Amino acid sequence: MQRRTFLTGTALGITLAAFPAVGAQAATTVSSLTALQSAINAAVPGDVITVANGTYAVPDGKPITITGKHGTEAAPITIVAQSRGGVVLTGKQSFVFSGSDNITLSGFAFRQSTTLDVPPDSSYIRLTRNDFQLADISGLHWVMIRGDHSKVDRNHFHNKSQLGIMLGVEGADTDKMAYKVLISKNYFSDHSFTGDNGGEPIRLGVSPRALANAEATVELNLFERTNGDPEAISIKSSGNFIRHNTIRDSKGGIVLRHGNGTQVDSNWILDGQEGIRIYGNDHQIVNNYVSGLSGTALIIGSGTERDHIPNEPPASRTGNDAPDRVTIVHNTLRNNAKTLAGESQRTEEPRDCVVADNLLVGDAGSLVAMATTVRFTWQSNILFGAAADGNIPAGTYTRTDPKLVTGSDGIARLSAASPAIGAATSQQLTVGYDIEGDARGTARDVGCDEYSTAAPVYRPLTTADVGPNAA
């Protein structure tokens, strides 16, 4: 696998490094909205338009339009602030896209009062190194991505207290999803909406789009104090990849609310409230570390519907789809108020799921508290702590001290003497690495951590790893 390192960013006001010169045609600096619009209208692939630092009030009814402009993958049209955060855009709207592709917006401080929208007719749009703190209006969604192959990376979304999501991904019509959107190295912080629904930092889809194959990737993002919703990452579409994110000190967790076939891989959920909650079919939940929550670390849900199907009534589509054929392996759930639980408030029980090679450690309640299940496979889990075993089937687990050692970062890892080393036996899913990027080899360890003395490739993220100044 590709190995990554994280580098501390430079100061916020530093001048943005030049973009690659591949295919560059012109470098233009503008200091007015009129000049900016003229430069955009004349832009060709490879052009870089730099906006001089300052605050620009965009007039109502006269946004900055990017219409029928086409860069290329190697030579996008780039519109960039003179320094990161140095160009502040106020007013009702800022940039409005139409029929365009391969456009990059970088380094702006967005303060507008309506949604920044990437429509379905615009693809390969990149929003990078921006600061998003739009008007704090109830019901306002800040950024909505509906164009294929869009990329949202190294931005800061922060300080929202009203109903509305920070970043959404939808698509064309009422039932499609934008395809292969990448959301990476963003910092989501301080969403303080006090309601129980509608304040997600990230929402991938909505109920009518549940069966649409999005293949979005959400990776290497940091969430702190994201308390606007129990779902920090809300999945309402199919085929997505949620990996290497850190959620810390937050109400929200990772929730597979609608859709099928999503991978939740190698995420850290620390010292907050909600963990991972699962509905829908054929998901893979692997290598996650969930610790210190006041709620439940992992919930295998129940359904009002057996399965969502095409053309079902809207009332049915908004219901919960019972989990089927979900694979839950190599996770560590440690010192949470509740560990692994089911639901009994709906009629459709989960079926044909695998729960194997997980490390469950806790001192409260029962480590496993499932409701009705059908044809579950439980295998080679390790349980430990003052908490009761609960209703995990006999013979599917070992109760033993895993001999964890807590590092200076607060993460508990296997020690050299741990009985979890080499104890994994499941074959339902090939897991070639652990949460830190260490190869598992043939004798795999139970839990998310493969014992190693090497420095980790991945670790819980900090603010130095994400946002406008991230490497």
Q: What is the pLDDT of residues 31-57, one digit of tens each?
A: 999 999 999 999 999 999 999 999 999
Encode pLDDT of 136-192 as tens digits: 999 999 999 999 999 999 999 999 999 999 999 999 999 999 999 999 999 999 999
State percent of the chain over pLDDT 90.
Answer: 92
Whether 68 maps to a domain, the answer reads no
Q: What is the pTM of this model?
A: 0.94
Whether 162 maps to a domain, the answer reads yes
Q: Which of 148, 170, 175 is nearest to 308 (CA)?
A: 175
The pLDDT of residue 315 = 86
Whether 20 maps to a domain, the answer reads no
Band (314; pLDDT cuts 50, 70, 90): confident
pLDDT at 445 exceeding the cut of 70: yes
pLDDT at 19 exceeding the cut of 70: no
pLDDT at 205 exceeding the cut of 90: yes
Band (15; pLDDT cuts 50, 70, 90): very low
The pLDDT of residue 353 = 98
Q: What is the average per-residue pLDDT within 108-115? A: 98
Whether 446 maps to a domain, the answer reads yes
The pLDDT of residue 195 = 83
Band (24; pLDDT cuts 50, 70, 90): very low
The pLDDT of residue 351 = 98
Least confident of 19-28, 78-87, 385-394: 19-28
The pLDDT of residue 338 = 98
pLDDT at 5 exceeding the cut of 70: no
CATH code, domain carrying 119? 2.160.20.10
Whether 57 maps to a domain, the answer reads no
> How many domains would you assign to the chain?
1
The pLDDT of residue 204 = 98
The pLDDT of residue 250 = 98
Whether 90 maps to a domain, the answer reads no
Q: What's phi and psi for 442, nearest 5 deg?
A: -90, -30
Whether 106 maps to a domain, the answer reads no
Whether 84 maps to a domain, the answer reads no
**Which domain does 143 fall in, by range?**
115-465
Q: What is the average per-residue pLDDT within 270-293? A: 98
